[in-house]
Amino acid sequence: MAYAADTPARTIVRPESKFFYFYLSIACVAVAFLGFAPTYWVPIATHSFKANPVVHIHGMLFFAWTLYLVYQSWLVAAGRVAKHRTVGLIGVSLATAMTIFGYLVAIASVRNASAAGLAPQAIGFMIVPVTGITFFAVTVIAALVKIKQPQAHKRLMILATVAILPAAIARWFLTFLAPPGAFPTPGVDLAPSALSGLILVAGIVHDWRTRGKPHAVYVVGGSLFVVVHLLEAPVSQTAVWQSVAGWMTSLPG
């Protein structure tokens, strides 16, 4: 009894579930699919969706990323780490293509809106997809840098995926809540971003139960995720952003 009383209390943690990140990946796929269902998947199925081919490529690349994440997380959970590393180059190529086409679609959207006389609104809103894909790209690069640190690497991959999910969730908000003909404004993605952030919250809760504290990736990366989305609306009105957006939309293509 005396020994127990004199021994410092320790945080009781549970063993980490090897399938936890596989389940998080499944959640990302579900969000991506259900989010785009009303504006993309259903119209595609009914042959009523018309868009530039670059939009279709963009959509397929982004959805393929979520499937790739599921596959990679399953390989790790199944103990096939060597295979996981072998197919890692596919992820590098996929992320690179996603970044390129993400910017291309954002630029094309502004050009289309400008042709309809909505240039100011489109340039302001352009900050939303641009910051989203930039955050994704930077986080994937960080995950590659930390490839020999599995605990950081897998959390960075989840964070990168969460960064592109608000676009899917926002489709439901725009479909049912936006006034007909209204162009979205920066800040409209705050609620979708908060909902996608619940996946990070699940990761933090799991960390607390298994590690006794959240991993630095969730603390730092999650904080940056929140800050970036809070700054989108005010920054979109600055001369600096107007200049950057103007330069991007003036590029050939």
pLDDT digits (tens, 9 = 90+) for 218-250: 999 999 999 999 999 999 999 999 999 999 998
Helix (H, G, I), strand (E, B) or coil at 253: coil
CA distances from 119 to 51, 98, 109, 235, 249 (A): 19, 25, 10, 17, 11
Residue at token pair 């289309």: 112
Please check the confidence at residue 176 and state whether its pLDDT lies above 70.
Answer: no
Name the packing angle between helices 239-249 and 222-236 (round to 10°). 90
Residue at token pair 């096939």: 80
Higher pLDDT, 253 or 8: 253
Please check the confidence at residue 116 and state whether its pLDDT lies above 90.
Answer: no
End-to-end Cα separation, the chain, in angstroms: 76
Please state, rounded to an integer, the average pLDDT across all residues of the chain.
89
Token pair for 138? 């930077």
Residues 6+ apart with CB under 8 A from 215: 151, 152, 155, 203, 207
Q: Note the pLDDT tens digit of each residue in 189-216.
A: 899 999 999 999 999 999 999 999 999 9
Q: Output phi, psi for 237, to 5 deg.
A: -95, 0
- CA-to-CA distance for 93 and 246, rounded, in angstroms? 28
Q: Note the pLDDT tens digit of each residue in 40-93.
A: 898 888 888 888 889 999 999 999 999 999 999 999 999 999 999 999 999 999
Position 13 scores a pLDDT of 60
Q: How many CB atoms lie within 10 A of CB 148?
A: 7
Query: For residue 61, how far is the Cα from the chain centroid?
Result: 13
Q: Note the pLDDT tens digit of each residue in 9-20.
A: 445 466 777 899
- Give the percent of the chain with pLDDT over 70: 90
CA distances from 212 to 10, 22, 30, 101, 157 (A): 10, 21, 29, 40, 21
Give the residue among 160, 105, 156, 152 at the shortest CA–CA distance from 132: 160
Position 3 scores a pLDDT of 35
